[in-house]
Structure formats: C-alpha cells, structure tokens
Amino acid sequence: MELSKVTLEIFSKLEQKWLYQCEGKKTRVLSIDGGGTTAIVAGAALVHLEDQIQARTGDSAARIADFFDIAVGTGIGALLAAMLVADGGAGRPLFTAREAVDFVFENQKEMFRPARAGAFRRRMRYSGKSMEAVLRAAFRRSDGRDLTLKDTCKPLLVPCFDLNSSAPFVFSRADAAESASFDFELWKVIRATSATPSMFKPFKLTSSDGKTSCLAVDGGLVMNNPTAAAVTHVLHNKRDFSSVTGVDDLLVLSVGNGQSSSPSTTKLRRDGDCSTAAVVGIVRDGVSETIDQLLGNAFCWNPNDYVRIQASGAVGSAAEVMAERGVESLPFGGKRLLTETNGERIGGLVQRLVLTGKSSLPPSPSKEAAVSPLVSGR
C-alpha cells in the first residue's frame, strides 16, 4: 500500500511537470470582435480578465499584454486591442483594461457624433472628423508624436477592407517592423477598420513612407470576428512564433460584442429589400458566427484551448455579461449552453495563464519579422 502511494505521488508530480511544460509552449491569442458602438460584452470581459490576472498574481501592475502574445481586433474591438498593447514607454501598455473601456464609454458620443446637414447628410450618419480627433488624442505620446504600428508592446493585427484592391487588408506590427511601407499611425488604423459603410465614408490612409495607400471600409464586413486571421498569422509567422506548428500549440481567448443590430433592424421586408445598416448587421453577425464555428471545429480535440466569450441575449451591464452562462459551438453545428458562467470561464483561463507565467515574447518588434502573404496587407 505504501509503495503504491509513493508510486502514485511520483507519477502525479511527473504528470504535473509534463503538463506544465506543455502548457508553457502555448502561444496566447487575444481576439476582440467588432460591431456596435458600446462594446459592453468586450468591455466587461477585458476588465474582468485583467482584474483576475492581478488578483491571482498579487501584482496590481500586471496587465493583459503581459500574459498574451498577440492581440487582434476589428472595429471597436480593434480600438480596445490597440489600447491594451500600445507602448506608453519602456515596453509597458499605455492603458489598463479599465482605462481603455472607460475611454470608449466616455468618448462614445464624440466618436459617433451625427454629421452636420450637408451634401452627404442623406448618406452619412456620423462625423468622421470627431472620431479622428478622439483617436488621435488617444494614441499620441507626451512629446506630440503619433504612435504607429511599431509602437506596441505585443504584435497587433487589425483588418479592414481595401476598396482600391477589392480585398481584405490586414495591418500588422510584423509588417511594419519589416518595412516603413507597411507602418501606419495607430489612430488611422483604428479609423480605417471603423469605417462602417452605413455610418462613415471610406477612409484613405498612407504608410509612413507614403509608398502604400489604402481606401478602407469596415473590417467587420469580412473579419468581424478576426480570430481566424490571428491564428493564420501565428501559424505562418515563424520568426516571432517559431514553436507553433498547429492549433495544439495555441491558447485562444475570443471575445464577442453581441449582435451588431437588434432583431427588428435585421428583418428582411416581404420583397427581400432592407436597409444598408441592416445588411451590414447581418454580414457582421454571420461572419462572427461562421468563424466561431470554424474555430470550434479546429479545437474540437482541445476545447479548453479555445474560449469564446459572448452574450446569448440582450445584456444591460457588465455584471450581467459575466453572470451569463457560457455558450460553446459544437463540432458539427449548433451551440451548447455551458454550466460555467462567462466570468468563471475567464477565471479558469487566467489560472492557466498564471500557472505558465508571463508571455516570453519580447515587446520590441523584430525588423526581420516574417509574415505570411495570406495574412499581411501586401
């Protein structure tokens, strides 16, 4: 009996060590959906995530960027992702999660200020100039210089749709580090991915050296849930993620933003016609659900490595979002309501993150970063 107990303890310790080593090889991906103007779901999840990290590490200075290797976002999700990894100096994030979320809520009216009456009044609902002023103030250093894609603590991906090439364009820190022709000011990148056709005119931006230009509209039309773009980037970027050979080496947190339109605005008329805003809402929600289903299938053998946080219905507060039971995509279609709440799922993920320690990816970008042409904006 005593020998059996000793043997069991030895194998238990060896198993824990093996699991720790395997977990340590995981590359952590944070993905934030676009859609909507309030980002209640994403805001609640990110604040809870950072609070849990600080509580479990006992370090009030710990940040989300310390425990994730790459961040990706679309639309308002891109704004939150960029604020979490923007380098405020010495490789530390410019904003805490709570500061980023508060910034979005406090500046919501200014970013989405109705346009003045004029030539574009019937077609445009919001003033792009007011949003640009808010974004530029958020991503400007104390010395007056605007932050660019290279000025981030961790790799950042932000998709949009380029009308010039009629194809998706993904802004990438790895591309920016490789060439000034792919380095763009952060506020312009966020403005580009937020150019929803039913709200704003297309936004034109050029790279730091003026050699690359993009006429952008909302990235949510093609990548409202940008998780697949992040996974593809990590799998092909062997310079920054050399240890990643497949999805088994990834740990993904995908944060939704709820439905981008209410059910009443997305219903088709009897003749099949509907407004531009309704079409955009249908496309966004469809893209998010499709990507979630694909990722659920890809991680079906390791479901705990893919955590999707989303609201299953209408929510009015952060507390309601965290108290809702989680929803998981099934391998061959459909969804399953989990016993764990969204808050408990984030807590379980944080426990794994803290167990394996902080991200080992250096904050400074590699000038020789290799990026898949399928993912980069080229």
Which residues carry out catalysis? Answer: 218
Contacts of 210 (CB under 8 A, 6+ apart): none
Indicate the SS3 state at residue 18: helix
Contacts of 120 (CB under 8 A, 6+ apart): 201
Q: Which residue has the tokens 């092909």?
A: 236
Mutual angle of helices 76-85 and 40-57, in 10-degree steps: 20
Question: Are 191 and 205 in contact, with CB atoms under 8 Å apart?
Answer: yes
H/E stretch holding 204 reads strand 203-206
Displacement of CA 301 from its chain's centroid (Å): 24
Indicate the SS3 state at residue 250: strand
Query: Long-range CB contacts (< 8 A, 24+ apart) of 93-99?
Result: 93/63, 93/64, 93/65, 93/153, 94/139, 94/147, 96/50, 96/63, 97/46, 97/47, 97/49, 97/50, 97/51, 97/63, 97/64, 98/47, 98/50
Question: Are 72 and 229 in contact, with CB atoms under 8 Å apart?
Answer: yes
Q: In whole angstroms, what is the distance from residue 83 CA to residue 191 CA?
A: 13
Residues shown for the chain: 378
Displacement of CA 326 from its chain's centroid (Å): 19
30 pairs with which residues across the strands? 71, 253
Quote the tokens at residue 201: 């005119």
Q: Give the number of other Cβ atoms within 10 Å of residue 88's Cβ.
A: 14
Give me the helices (H) in the chain, please.
2-24, 40-57, 64-67, 76-85, 97-106, 108-111, 128-138, 173-178, 186-193, 220-223, 227-236, 263-266, 276-298, 318-323, 342-356
